Structure formats: structure tokens, C-alpha cells
Copies of this chain bind each other. A is one copy, B any other.
Amino acid sequence: MLDDDAARLQARGYRLTGPRRVIIAALRDAGRYCTASQLYERLRGRSVGLASVYRTLELLADLGLAERRAEAGGEGSFLYCSPRHHHHVVCTGCGTVREIDACPGDDLARAVERETDFRIDRHKLDFYGVCAGCRTTG
């Protein structure tokens, strides 16, 4: 787990416990959306309870270190991500997710404000495609 994450946890008064270290590391290393039970499986033998996985994922989402998504089957899944503004590219082949800097920017947000008379605060953008590895592998 990154020092930055540890600092972020403790800045909010949370303790840096063993289970949290392990869960966060597993989510970060996965590099894709994971469900609580997937992480729980991956951590078998490390004596981490399923409830702690849920609690930690919830905590990360609250800290801005993870993003929650709706699974097709209704199961919730989480993606580790950095707290700065960024967007994602998701490989529809293998599920890998990468953060990107590309951003539509304020110009488009202002255009939307003119079109709708909303005051825009933030936006969320995801790209879907096929990564280099999945293209060559077939």
C-alpha cells in the first residue's frame, strides 16, 4: 500500500490496520473493478473477514481512493484510483482499467450550462475499448 494512502487514512483519524493494508494492496494490484467477494477469495488464508472487506471498500470510496460501480448482476464492485481528477479507460476484453489525463475540460461544461441552464460542478467520463494485449492475443 502506498504511503500516500496511509497518510490519507490517518489524516481522517482512521487507523492503519493489518487487514486494511492487505485489502487496499489487493484492490490496487488488481488494476480493475473488483467485488468484495472476489477480494475476499484472493485473501483466503490471510484471516481477513468478509465484513472487513466490505467496510474497507466503503471507507476507500468515502476517502476518494476507490470508485464504486454497478455490476451487471447487481453486485457492487470497486476500483482503486487516485484522488486527483482523472478519467478511465476500460478494456472490454480483460477488464483492465487505466487512468488517463485526457479530459473534455471546462469548455464543454460551459456549453452544457448554456444548453441546459444547469450549474455544472463535476463530470465523469469513461472510455471503453480493447487494450493492446487483448488485440494481439485475439
Contacts and interface: CB of A to CB of B under 8 A. Distances in A.
Copy total for this chain:
2
A97 to B, nearest CB: 11
Interface stretch (A9-17, A21-29, A45-53, A101-109): A101-109
Contact of A115 (B74, B100, B108): B100
Given A125-B123, A125-B124, A127-B112, A118 B104 contact: no
B128 A115 contact: no
Interface size on A, as a range, is 35 or more
B101 A104 contact: no
Interface in A27-72: 68-70, 72
B129 A120 contact: yes
